[in-house]
Structure 1
Amino acid sequence: MKRLLPVCSWIALVALPASQSVSAESNNYNLTRGVTDISNKVYDLHMLIFYICCAIAFLVFGVMFYSILKHRKSQGAVAANFHESTKVEILWTVIPVIILIAMAIPATKTLIAMEDTSQSDITIKITGSQWKWHYEYFGEDVGFYSLLATSQKQIDGVEEKGAHYLLEVDNALVLPINKKIRFLMTSDDVIHSWWVPDFAVKKDTIPGFINEAWTKIEQPGVYRGQCAELCGKAHGFMPIVVHAMTQDDYDAWLSEKKQEMALAKEEAEKSLDATLSMETLMALGEEIYTARCAVCHQANGQGITGAFPAIAGSSVATTGEVSMHLAKIVDGVNGTAMQSFANQLSDKEIAAVVTYQRNAWGNDTGDIVQASDVNAYKNQGMEPVSSEEQ
């Protein structure tokens, strides 16, 4: 249905006002100007067409109400008997065509500018998956997942909701200002849509396809958006946060991020030789489960009937082999929403969450899985589990 929207309506859609904007001017009754040249062009185009529509409405309704009042029967008006006026037909054909051309020219220029990703300074790949974003900085060997940071207690109404409820993440996308940023967008599973109103960027991420978009931010600040495509159960829990920085601050962040990733890699290698206690694994496993698994399988491990299987009391987490349990998390399950976490979690984190699932909610197997066990499983190169084998 979205593809059937008129060109101008589509442009207005990508620039809808958002209460989550921080640096852009806010307006409860109109579009936001945003913080990019394109967003300003979209706003100006919107206002131009809005004024044209107002002028048309004023003229049409003005003539209509004048005719109703001036030519009513109580004033002695007598209906004229005529039909077919060539001049009138020419006028009501030519005038709308001129109006459409007047709107189409600036609209086309704006749409062409929105699609021109050439001569970019930075390229970032954005991958949507249920229900998180993955960002990769081309040429920098930097990549990370961005997940909702709002606590489950706020979602459940136990705690007071924060200022950026459902619009906060653990790892924000960081961009420099005054640089042309090219986005390559795709998806791991279903169609998502990366939407940041202040940039006038809204683009679908489609499995098996690469879509392009770009932005050039003019002001430092924090800009927020959301997935704008109905992508499943947790669609409303898939926010976008962008930190726009000066070039010096961006360079410092990039250097720090590279060091952070290097340390994480070293820590992952060290964890292969470590033997963690049940208590340590259970504490870390609960943290990972709450952040990554509870959205589908529920905090109590009961799952959702017909959609997501229960873990509590399941054969996989009780009587099944640990290797089969690892297979579901490391490789995912073909034909289902269960995605692979091999590149999303470290071996230590996978070991912890498997240990937690096999010992929480009354499962009580006593099984302890270490990072070395996960690494050994990965090196076996086993085939992913199919949906029939769940």
Structure 2
Amino acid sequence: MTQGVTEISGKVYHLHMLIFYICVVIALVVFGVMFYAIFKHRKSRGAVAADFHESTKVEIIWTIIPVLILIGMAIPASTTLIAMEDTSQSDLTIKVTGSQWKWHYSYFDQDVEFYSLLATSQQQIEGNEEKGAHYLLEVDQPLVLPINRKVRFLLTSDDVIHSWWVPDFAVKKDTIPGFINEAWTRIDKPGVYRGQCAELCGRAHGFMPIVVHAMTEQNYEAWLADKKVQIAAARAEAQQALQSSVSLEESMALGEKIYLERCSVCHQPTGMGVPGAFPAIKGSPVATGPLEQHLGVVVNGRSGTAMQAFGNQLSDKELAAVITYQRNAWGNNTGDTVQASDINAFKTQGQATGEEAQ
């Protein structure tokens, strides 16, 4: 266990070491007395067992001493645990949502949110490329936090139980579907801090790392302003994409990139899936059948399965590209080129249908 980079992580470390040393002392005393008694009163020296049944004095001693030890351990432990759970008077609130297999971060009152995905290449994972310095511990978009501010985390999940764990912060909280857990941190110095999902959450459990960039308050504000500009530009690009069309070749190139980032972990880079767990896309009735059915599966997901709804995770242009790729790769060859306007029309139709049903 390391001391971490926050005041609370230091308290956790010192509490751990205190309890450890107490346990070491208890072990030395108990086993020392036991081995001494065995050696001193062994049969070969003519030792004769004492003939008594009970001693009130001994009973009192071996009851009071453990109670005092437990009280001595409970006081600092309780103080630390209470401090760990105190999320009041926070300066910044971030919602953390676990999803198979990525993290979603939403900054309250800032209109900033994004998904954070594993950035380690498939070539490294398959052993066809030398592993990087941060193999399986690198992401495309890290969580950015300011130092010297109390940050409250609200943690939940879209699907199964995950666990958001950053050892340097002494933060480890389960993200549970339908529930909100709380945690907090106050980082003392800038740096890059890494963690992982600490709850077995499925096939790609080991592929959802956590990376936190802690910045000075000035740099954080600059990053936040720049992030808002990027989000605004992405929204403008999404609107522009509705008015234009792309060629099959362009859509296939973008679709392959997105497929390898988002879909291949389940359906495999070859589109063959995992028999008994994740269906193949190559030659599947969905990818080669009616387009509207394919749109429904990708945009809305499939209830009761591991197939997520990607309608809010990807832009209309990205959705169109990945569906185009799935319908034309691996010999599917439907010839369909899905456009962003097709995705938007499908979403609009579904929204209208839902409103009518209500």
Q: TM-score, normalised by structure 1?
A: 0.89
Distance in 1 (alpha carbons) for counterparts of 2:293 and 2:275: 22
The code of the aligned residue for 2:338 comes to V
Select the residue among 253, 276, 298 that pairs with 1:329: 298
How far has the Cα of 1:369 moved from its partner?
0.4
SS in 1 for 2:243: coil
Partner residue of 2:139? Answer: 169
* Residue aligning to 2:44: 74
- Distance in 2 (CA, whole Å) between partners of 1:181 and 1:36 is 12
Inter-partner Cα distance in structure 1 for 2:146 and 2:337: 45
Q: Does 1:338 align with 2:338?
A: no
Which residue of the partner structure matches residue 53 of structure 2? 83
Alignment of 1:50-199 (within 5 A): 50-199=20-169
Alignment of 1:223-302 (within 5 A): 223-302=193-272
* Alignment partners' CA distance in 1, 2:249 and 2:3: 52
- Give 1:76 deviation, angstroms: 2.3
Q: How many residues align?
A: 353
- The whole-number CA distance in structure 2 between the counterparts of 1:380 and 1:105 is 60
- Higher mean C-alpha deviation, range 271-280 or range 165-174: 271-280
Residue 277 of structure 1: CA displacement?
0.8
The equivalent of 1:348 in structure 2 is 317
Alpha-carbon separation, structure 2, partners of 1:381 and 1:79:
86
Aligned-pair distance for 1:335? Answer: 1.0
- Paired position in structure 2 for 1:21: none
Residues of 1 paired with 2:57 and 2:71: CA distance?
21
Deviations 1:305-339 (A, max 9, x none): 11111110011111x21111111111111111111
Counterpart amino acid of residue 158 in structure 1: N
- Residue type matched to 2:193 in 1? Y
SS at match of 2:54: coil
Kindly state the Cα deviation for residue 69 of structure 1 after the two structures are TM-superposed.
1.3
**Is residue 9 of structure 2 the alignment partner of residue 45 of structure 1?**
no
- Quote the residue 2:287 is aligned against: 317
Farther-moved stretch of structure 1 (326-335 vs 166-175): 326-335
Quick one: which of 8, 18, 32 aligns to 2:2? Answer: 32
1:232-289 residue CA offsets vs partner (Å, 9 max, x unmatched): 1100001000000000010010000000000000000111111111110000000000
The Cα shift of 1:217 comes to 0.4
- Residue number in structure 2 paired with 1:359: 328
Distance, in Å, in 2 between the alignment partners of 1:245 and 1:37 is 17
For 1:373, which of 342, 346, 350 is the aligned residue? 342
Percentage of pairs with the same residue: 74
Q: 1:275 and 1:381 mapped to 2: Cα distance?
A: 22
Structure 2: gaps spanning 5 or more residues: none
Cα distance in 1 for residues equivalent to 2:176 and 2:307: 18
1:79 shift after superposition: 1.6
The residue identity in structure 1 corresponding to 2:267 is H
| Partner Cα separation in structure 2 for residue 58 and residue 186 of structure 1 | 44
Amino acid at match of 2:164: W
Distance (Å, rounded) in 1 between the aligned partners of 2:143 and 2:243? 33
| Separation of aligned partners in 2, 1:50 and 1:71 | 31
Q: Which aligned runs of 4 or more in structure 1 are off by greater than 4 angstroms?
A: none
Q: Which stretch shifts more, 298-307 or 151-160?
A: 298-307
What CA distance in whole angstroms lies between the structure 1 residues aligned with 2:49 and 2:160? 61
d(CA) in 1 for partners of 2:202, 2:345: 34
Query: What are the superposed Cα offsets for residues 332-354 of structure 1, whole Å, 9 maximum, x if unpaired?
Result: 11111111111110000000001
